[in-house]
Chain A
Amino acid sequence: MNGAIHILRRFVISTILISVFLLILNYVVLGTWFFNGMNVGKTPEDVVRGASEGLHGSSGSYALAERAEKLLVQHNAWAMLIDKQGQVAWGFKLPDELPRAYSLTDVAKLSRHYVMDYPVFIWEHPDGLVVVGYPKDSVAKYQFSFPLDWISSVPLRLVGMIFGNIALALLLSLVIGTLLIKSITPLIDGIHGLAHEQPAHVEPKGLLRSLAKSINHTSALLQEKNAKLKARDEARFNWIAGISHDIRTPLSMVLGYASQLEESETLPDEQRKKAAIIRRQGEKLRSLVSDLHLVSMLEYEMQPVSWKAVRLPVLARQAVSDFLNNHDVGERFSLQLAVEDENIKVNGDERLLQRAIANLLQNSMLHNREGCQILLQIMRSPDKKTCRFTVTDNGKGIPQSELADLLELPYSTKRKSPVQNGHGLGLPMVARIAKAHQGRLILTSDTGKGLRAEIELPVMADS
C-alpha cells in the first residue's frame, strides 16, 4: 500500500508540473505568434502614414514621394486624398467604382470599416484625409470596445485562470491517478507477495489484465516449484530415514548373534575373537546409521530441537568427561579445558551440543593418531552477543584449500576431495548443529599448523 501512495504522489506532482509547463509554453507561443502576426511587414497604419507624409502639394496638384509610392505598390494598395469639402482631390490607382465625393456620414463609416469592401485606413493630411485602400479580402478589420473595469481586471483574471488551471490539473490527475492506483494496487500486492514467496492471486481485469495474468502465473509456478522442492526434500529425508530404519532389524540380529557367539564358552578363543570383530563392526555400522539419520534430519530441518537454557561450561565439562570416559584416549593426547566465563548460557539442545563437542574432539584425535595437545576454550566474543566454543589442536592441520570441503556432506557434488578418515559425517554434523542453533562453525587451519574449530552461538540475554 505504501508503494501505491508513493506512486500516486509522484504521479500528481509530475502531472501538475507538466500542466504548468504546458500552460506557460502556450502563453509564450500564443503571445509570440500574435505579436508577429501584427507585425507582418509594415502595418497598414505605417503605410497610410507614409502615404500621407509623402503626399506634397496644394489645391489640385499633388505629387507622391517615390518612397511612398513604392510602399503602396508593394502592398498592392490604392490611395486618395479627400479634401475638406468631401471631394476626392487626388488619387492613386483609384478603382473606378469608387465614388468621387464623400459625405460626412461616408467618412465616418469609412474611418471604421470598408469602402465598397476595400479595407481602408485613414491618416490626417494638411489638406484633408489620406485614405489608403487595400485589395478586397486581404485585411480583416475589427473594432473592439471593452468596459474599463473589464480591462483593468484582465491581469487578475489571467492569474485566476492560471490557478484555476492548476487546480483543475490537480483534480484531474488525482482522479486519474486514483483510478490507476486502484487498478495497480492488487498488482503491487501480488508482486510483494511473490517476493516473499507467498501465493499471489490478482483478479485479471481492466487495463493491466495481462500483467495480472503474468503475476498469477509466476506465483503458481513459484508455489509449484517450492512444493516440488519440499516434496523432494521430504522424499530424500524419508528415504534415508527408511533405510536407517530397515537396517536396524538385520543389524540387531548381526549384533545379537555375534555377541552371543563372543560370549559363548563352548567356542574356541579364535572364533570368539572373530565374533567380537563382527560385533564391533556391527556397532560401527549402528553408529554410522544413526549419524546418517541425524545429519539428514538436520540437513532437511526435520530435527526437533528441544530448546533449553544451557550453561555452556557445564555442558562442555559433561561432554568432555563423557568422551574421556567412553574412549580410551591414552597418554598421547593431552586435553585442557579453559573457561573464560562460567556464566555463559545458550539456548539449545543439550544432546546435540554435546554431540557437536564430542565430534570435534573425535575429529582432532582421529586425524592425529600419533597424539596432540587439545585445548578447549569457552569465551564470549567481543560484542557479547555471541560466545565461542573452540577446540584447538596442535596436530597436522589441513591445507587451507580443503577447509571448506570439510563441511560438505561426503559424496555430495559440492565435496571435491574424498573422505580420508572416518565416515566424514563428523564435521558436517557439527556445522549443521551449529546452524540449527543460529550459530556457525568456523574452521581455521593450515598444513602443520593444527586445526582450530570454533562453534559460535548466540548467548542468552540474561547470561
Chain B
Amino acid sequence: MGIRNGSFVDFLLIALILGNLLLLGSSRLMSYIRICAAQGLLVSALTFILHRGEVSARIVVLVVGSAVLKAGLFPWLLIRAVRVAYIKKEIEPIVGYSASLIFGVLILALSLWLSARLPIHGKAAASFVPTAAFFTIFTGCFLIVSRTKAITQVISYLVLENGIYLFGLPFVGEAALLIELGVFLDLTVGVAVMGIIIYHISREFDSLDVKHLSTLKDWGS
C-alpha cells in the first residue's frame, strides 16, 4: 500500500463526493463552474498524494498539467464564455434539484455496490477511490442528461472527465498512457468551450440547437 495518509485521502474523496451532491443541488452557473474547478484541483492533489512515495517527472507533469487545465484554463474559458456569449446564469434543469439530490444518493449507492463488485487489484482495492470515481462519472452523466444549456453540458462533461481521471489514478504506475489519454480527453472540453465562445451559443440546446438537430432526421417531423 502506497497510501500512508489514508485518512487525508479519504477526506479529499469525501470532499469530492460532497462536491458532486452540491453540483446536483446547485442552481447557479457560476457556482457550478467553481465547484467543477475545485474538483479539478482535488483530483490533481490526489494525483500527488496517492503517488508521494514514487515522485517522478511524469507525476509532476501530470499534477501540474491537470491542475492548470482543470482548475485554471477551463474555468477561465467557461467564465469568459458565460460573459462573451451572454448566457443567463440559471441552470434550467429537466429534473428538479431535490429530485436530482435523491437520485444522487441512489447513484452513490450504486457506485458503492459497483466498486465492491469490480475485480480491482492493488492500491485501489482498499480505498474509496473507485467509489468516488464512479460517483463522479455517474454524476457527470446524469448532469449531461438532465440539464439543458450547452454550457452546462460542457461543464458536466468536465465533471465526468474528472471521474475518469480519478478512476485511472491508482494505475498510473501500471498502465502507461491511461491517464495521459484522460488528460487528452480534457482538451475536447477546451474545444467545446471555444465553440460556445466563437459561435455565441447563448441559448439552450433544447430551444435552438436541438431544433436544428431534429431537422437532420431523415423523415418528416
Decide whether A and B assemble into one complex.
no
A contact residues vs B (CB 8 Å cutoff): none
